Amino acid sequence: MKKRGKSDSILRNERKGKRDKMEKRMLPKQIIEEMRKKIGSYEFKIEHRKRAADFSRESILEIQDVMCIVLNLVKSSAAIEMYKYFERKGSKESVTGNGLKEARKKVSHTAFEELFKDGVRAAMEAEDMRYFRGYRAMGIDGSTELLEYSEALKKEFGEITPRAGDVYARISTCVDVVNGFVADGIIAPYSTGERELAKQHIDNITDEKALYLMDRGYWSPELAAKIADKGQKFLIRLASNAIPKVTASRQDSGHISVAHKGKDYRFRYYKFMLKSGEMEYLLTNLTEDEVSDSELGDLYWLRWGIETKYAEIKEKLQLENLSGKTPLFVKQDFFATLWVVNMICFMTIAAESDMPDRQRQYKYKPNKNFSIAVFRHSFISIVVEDHPLKRDILLHRLISEISKNIVPIRPDRLFHPRNSNRTIHRNYMSKKSPL
């Protein structure tokens, strides 16, 4: 029998590399193909139309047209968006901006929520996703969304606001911080507490290998017990006065018992001094064998991925640049934006596998602004193309272009917290928009 030499090993590695690239390309393709099939189905129309009479007659704007236009993000005037849509569709049809608004009123926001969840499910089932020590690291954090003022929005999201005369919604996301996609998203009245929304995320995430990373505002015995009872893991940063036993302990690490509803839970703590001189307190139900004390700080640092994801959602995709002043349009925009931010993530993961392996000073990643811009430019052309082979070519070309436009990943860069004064200038944009 012929012995396998070095060339055989190289060949096997090349084949494995090609197979990995194909797997990474499959996720965007799978999501788009399933989305096309679903939005064109009779069952989808019946389930998500607002009234039985809606979309009952043939018209220029069918439900699949409305879905595609909104998923492409309506950031300019409705008339301009309609022009761009029909131009890329290769159609001579024409619909006014008001025609789009009237058509959108016939579609429930649940249609966009379902597509978002379909994409998440596909990503959670993908075999080539990355893990942290076998766990799916999930950052949970909340934020606010500044809405255009209207009585309807005020009634839906509440009169309690951080600034008089404005209307706000509370939004919360659970982000796979290793892979970069949003695993769950919620929009709620501003008065809804972040812990309450975190409990909803935990109810929605069924993966037993979920590992939640949360900041100090989330600590509560109830939340920790809920995660432990599901067999999942957590790492929570504690405020200095959250658990006096931890603060007062002379030991840098140890175990404490936390009671909730007559049941005792044994958790592990670790505290250490930051470079700023501030003491950091961490609490987890991970064992030392799973993650050592010295590694807990690095694990918690992964939570920063949710901060950068909010920057992407709010600044790059302009979540607060709303396309309407009704609760329906706000919720449509919210879930459409989450669907798009995930598709950008899956596209860049696929593009990373196409990036040439060269010796450089820094590691590189796809340029996010460029990725967003070319995806939004190409999305309609891909989705409305009826020929499967031509769709594949367009998708391949999009991923290839993303892989060519890259930026360096510079270590030890300083990051700044999200701007909390954006309400002073409602339309102020501190970054160049890729849209």
Overall average pLDDT of the 95-103 stretch: 91
- State residue 124 phi and psi, 5-degree precision: -65, -30
* Residue 424 pLDDT greater than 90, yes or no: no
Query: Could you identify the residue written with the tokens 């928009």?
Result: 433
Mean pLDDT across the chain: 88
Maximum C-alpha span of the chain: 82
Does position 80 have pLDDT exceeding 80, yes or no?
yes
Lowest-confidence pick of 93-102, 198-207, 279-288:
93-102
- 């017990």: which residue's tokens? 225
Per-residue pLDDT tens digits for 181-202: 999 999 999 999 999 999 999 9
- In whole angstroms, give the CA distance from residue 195 to residue 78: 37
Question: What pLDDT is recorded for position 9?
Answer: 46
Percent of the chain with pLDDT over 70: 87
Rounded-to-integer distance, Cα 209 and Cα 232, Å: 6
Angle between helices 110-125 and 6-39 (to 10 degrees): 160
Judged against a pLDDT cut of 70, whether residue 8 lies above it is answered with no
- Residue 352 has which token pair? 């990373």
Q: Is the pLDDT of residue 208 over 60?
A: yes
pLDDT in tens, 330-378: 999 999 999 999 999 999 999 987 766 665 556 778 899 999 999 999 9
Please give the residue that has the higher pLDDT: either 158 or 25: 158
β-strand pairing of 363-366 with 406-409: antiparallel
- Which structure tokens are listed for 159? 């009169």
Question: pLDDT tens across 160-170, in order?
Answer: 888 888 999 99
